Chains A and B, each alone.
Chain A
């Protein structure tokens, strides 16, 4: 196989684009972990849910702007998330559950089981794929040119769907960081994640912050699914791969760390893209694409479980 510099750059940039969406999703998971102290094993199912919301909204209302559909795909997982948190996770935070660590793993796993089959019941097992959200204007300026589906810069092609997804993810990540860093509620979330008792003393209700964090985390997963439903074919099991990627990222970045989730997302995006593109046997490359991230994951867990930016355990 001939590996040119341009090919490498193409791989890295495409990996970065997907990495942005991974980062958005992992941001949700890390937010849940930092406030509630649990890993949601249903994170991928919110991603799956978000994708289906966009698909069905656009199918039902053909004139609907994809932006509105994507926002809707944030709201519905948010609502599902807060209802679930109130019903099943709140008792844990109130100390009504024996062995909360095990309970959290199993009950979120139960939610993922429920949501997967619920969607399988509603939509059936056949894959769905939304049409491209936005067409690019067609132009040709020599080194930069575009068709409806592809933008080519200096000979490096980018798919329009992935560009849109990456752009939306960037905006949402920015908005989320602003919200966490600047708004009162965001600061309250940070406070609860640092010290629950101290936060309660200053008048923040930690239980409400738990609910909010879980809802926001679910929302971010839903939004990242929403941006990708025109890139990948959607089945009720699409969330399994996505959630295992989020696990990889938050462990790599350090559980509960926001910069870790962002950097981890980009790293995993690039590693997967390079791994699949450079694997010596192209027949197996695609099958092994997801394994590269998982290998990193296993290595980080075994060698440095706190990840890049994690707190000490």
Chain B
């Protein structure tokens, strides 16, 4: 195991970095907030990767499950006076229950049909949230009680990090247990899996329930932190973001999807305004009228990219799908672990060849 030191060191380094981030970012509350949101997205992307990448259920309703828990928790808090913690538990259970119903309804549907059905489900949910003003606040949104009695971001940061690590650990265990094998067998060939004795119905529904609950947990906790939720969060564009994060990270890798989400979330924040050296700012300001024609802008620190950052991201998504089926981050993780394994294999073969030669010489 000594040879695998480097990847483990990297992993531990990342973890230490994540744990120490609040100390490093003490004066930059903004980036701490972004990091917390990055963990929220990482939970969504990783759980979607489990549902789509492992179990092959290409659901477009993941954001809806996230929002069901958040709205449920907010509504019981407002109308029944439940504490945020009990609200979150209720919300997560409700998400799991809706996931059960949707999973059960989708049993007969494959691939494209499933994608279409879950889009319809997500859209109906969004329209309902918009229309039922008395319950959800409609387009005005719903205010939610803070989970903790503090204005500091640090406790929330650690809570989201802990939830992310716990859910990743749980999903990792699930994916590598016999459940994971059943999920993958369903993805590859449902009939064959059923013929081999996999209880297809049970595991398909289970995949929906588990991933919905994780999405719901992320949604409920995160919105008790932000303090507000509105139907604009339910638009299909947000679902695209989860999918893009998972695909670019690696759709068949939980860790890849989570790291992809974190990196992409930071990249998108950073790209909002690309910093330009102070010396070049006058040139940029002179260009401002031209840039504005193309939907770009000039801020205090550099180039404001508006929607264009997402355009580049869309191209990256399509290219990743076309040329790097396993995403961009997952192969890096693989290589780090495999490189050592490859060396080991090569060494063993060399040894085998040498002993063979020796035997030949001896005989």
Within the assembled complex, what's the spacing in Å between the Cα atoms of A284 and B128? 9
Given contacts A106-B247, A114-B318, A117-B310, A298 and B124 within 8 Å (CB-CB) = yes
- Per the 8 Å Cβ criterion, residues 94-151 of B in contact with A are 105, 108-113, 115-117, 119-121, 123-124, 127-128, 130-132, 138
Residue A231 CB within 8 A of the other chain:
no
Most buried by B among A39, A106, A123, A305: A106
Given contacts A117-B310, A118-B311, A121-B311, A294 and B318 within 8 Å (CB-CB) = no
- Per the 8 Å Cβ criterion, residues 205-242 of B in contact with A are 235-237, 240
Q: Which of B111, B123, B244, B307 contacts A105 (CB 8 A)?
A: B111
What are 13 A-B pairs with beta-carbon distances under 8 A?
A39-B116, A88-B318, A91-B322, A101-B111, A107-B321, A115-B314, A116-B314, A120-B306, A124-B306, A290-B123, A290-B127, A291-B128, A294-B124
13 further A-B pairs in the complex, CB-CB below 8 A; given A103-B321, A106-B243:
A105-B115, A110-B321, A117-B308, A120-B310, A247-B119, A284-B132, A287-B131, A288-B127, A288-B131, A290-B123, A295-B124, A298-B105, A301-B109
Residue B169 CB within 8 A of the other chain:
no
- Please tell me if the beta carbons of A298 and B112 are within 8 angstroms of each other in the complex: no
Closest 6 CB pairs of A and B: A114-B314, A287-B131, A120-B307, A117-B310, A121-B307, A110-B318
Q: Which B residues are in CB contact (< 8 Å) with A297?
A: 116-117, 120
Within the assembled complex, what's the spacing in Å between the Cα atoms of A21 and B58? 29
- Chain A 217-259 per-residue mask, 1 if CB under 8 angstroms from chain B, else 0: 0000000000000000000110010001001100100000000
Residue A2 CB within 8 A of the other chain:
no
- Please tell me if the beta carbons of A301 and B113 are within 8 angstroms of each other in the complex: yes
Residue A179 CB within 8 A of the other chain:
no
Residue B51 CB within 8 A of the other chain:
no
Residue A109 CB within 8 A of the other chain:
yes
Within the assembled complex, what's the spacing in Å between the Cα atoms of A236 and B315? 17
Q: Which of B52, B120, B313 contacts A247 (CB 8 A)?
A: B120
Within the assembled complex, what's the spacing in Å between the Cα atoms of A104 and B48? 18
Give chain A nearest CB distance to B110 CB in angstroms: 8
B contacts with A: majority SS = helix
Give chain B nearest CB distance to A311 CB in angstroms: 14
Within the assembled complex, what's the spacing in Å between the Cα atoms of A101 and B311? 25
Given contacts A120-B310, A302-B105, A107 and B322 within 8 Å (CB-CB) = yes
Within the assembled complex, what's the spacing in Å between the Cα atoms of A273 and B241? 33
Q: Which B residues are in CB contact (< 8 Å) with A103?
A: 321
Q: Which B residues are in CB contact (< 8 Å) with A305?
A: 108-109, 113
Show the binding face of B for A, using Cβ within 8 Å: 52, 56, 58, 105, 108-113, 115-117, 119-121, 123-124, 127-128, 130-132, 138, 235-237, 240, 243-244, 247, 294-296, 306-308, 310-311, 313-315, 317-318, 321-322, 325
- Please tell me if the beta carbons of A116 and B111 are within 8 angstroms of each other in the complex: no
Within the assembled complex, what's the spacing in Å between the Cα atoms of A300 and B243? 26
Q: Which of B58, B244, B314, B325 contacts A118 (CB 8 A)?
A: B314
Give chain B nearest CB distance to A104 CB in angstroms: 8
- Chain A 77-111 per-residue mask, 1 if CB under 8 angstroms from chain B, else 0: 00000000001100100000110011111110111
Within the assembled complex, what's the spacing in Å between the Cα atoms of A121 and B307? 5
Q: Which of A110, A123, A294 contacts B120 (CB 8 A)?
A: A294
Q: Which B residues are in CB contact (< 8 Å) with A113?
A: 237, 240, 244, 310, 313-314, 317
Q: Which A residues are in CB contact (< 8 Å) with B236?
A: 240
Residue A171 CB within 8 A of the other chain:
no
Residue A38 CB within 8 A of the other chain:
yes
- Please tell me if the beta carbons of A114 and B315 are within 8 angstroms of each other in the complex: yes
- Please tell me if the beta carbons of A39 and B112 are within 8 angstroms of each other in the complex: yes
Residue A122 CB within 8 A of the other chain:
yes
Q: Which B residues are in CB contact (< 8 Å) with A98?
A: 325
- Please tell me if the beta carbons of B116 and A301 are within 8 angstroms of each other in the complex: yes
Within the assembled complex, what's the spacing in Å between the Cα atoms of A216 and B119? 25
Give chain B nearest CB distance to A163 CB in angstroms: 28
Given contacts A113-B240, A121-B294, A288-B131, A101 and B112 within 8 Å (CB-CB) = yes
Within the assembled complex, what's the spacing in Å between the Cα atoms of A41 and B325? 19
- Please tell me if the beta carbons of A107 and B318 are within 8 angstroms of each other in the complex: yes
Within the assembled complex, what's the spacing in Å between the Cα atoms of A118 and B240? 15
Q: Which B residues are in CB contact (< 8 Å) with A302?
A: 105, 108, 117
Within the assembled complex, what's the spacing in Å between the Cα atoms of A113 and B248? 14
Given contacts A109-B240, A116-B237, A291-B124, A251 and B307 within 8 Å (CB-CB) = no
Q: Which A residues are in CB contact (< 8 Å) with B58?
A: 102, 105-106
- Please tell me if the beta carbons of B317 and A298 are within 8 angstroms of each other in the complex: no
Within the assembled complex, what's the spacing in Å between the Cα atoms of A287 and B126? 10
Q: Which of A91, A240, A291, A301 contacts B117 (CB 8 A)?
A: A301
Within the assembled complex, what's the spacing in Å between the Cα atoms of A109 and B308? 18
Most buried by A among B116, B119, B325: B116
Given contacts A102-B111, A290-B123, A111 and B318 within 8 Å (CB-CB) = yes
Residue of B whose beta carbon sits closest to that of A286: B131
Give chain A nearest CB distance to B341 CB in angstroms: 23
Q: Which B residues are in CB contact (< 8 Å) with A112?
A: 240
Give chain B nearest CB distance to A196 CB in angstroms: 18
Q: Which A residues are in CB contact (< 8 Å) with B121?
A: 298
Q: Which B residues are in CB contact (< 8 Å) with A109?
A: 240, 243
- Please tell me if the beta carbons of A110 and B244 are within 8 angstroms of each other in the complex: yes
Residue of A whose beta carbon sits closest to that of B236: A240
- Please tell me if the beta carbons of B307 and A117 are within 8 angstroms of each other in the complex: yes
Q: Which A residues are in CB contact (< 8 Å) with B131?
A: 284, 287-288, 291
Q: Which B residues are in CB contact (< 8 Å) with A294?
A: 120, 123-124, 127
Q: Which B residues are in CB contact (< 8 Å) with A125?
A: 307
Within the assembled complex, what's the spacing in Å between the Cα atoms of A240 and B119? 10
Residue of B whose beta carbon sits closest to that of A116: B237
- Please tell me if the beta carbons of B317 and A110 are within 8 angstroms of each other in the complex: yes
Within the assembled complex, what's the spacing in Å between the Cα atoms of A87 and B130? 39
- Please tell me if the beta carbons of B311 and A106 are within 8 angstroms of each other in the complex: no
Give chain B nearest CB distance to A15 CB in angstroms: 19
Most buried by B among A115, A124, A291: A291
Q: Which A residues are in CB contact (< 8 Å) with B317?
A: 110, 113-114
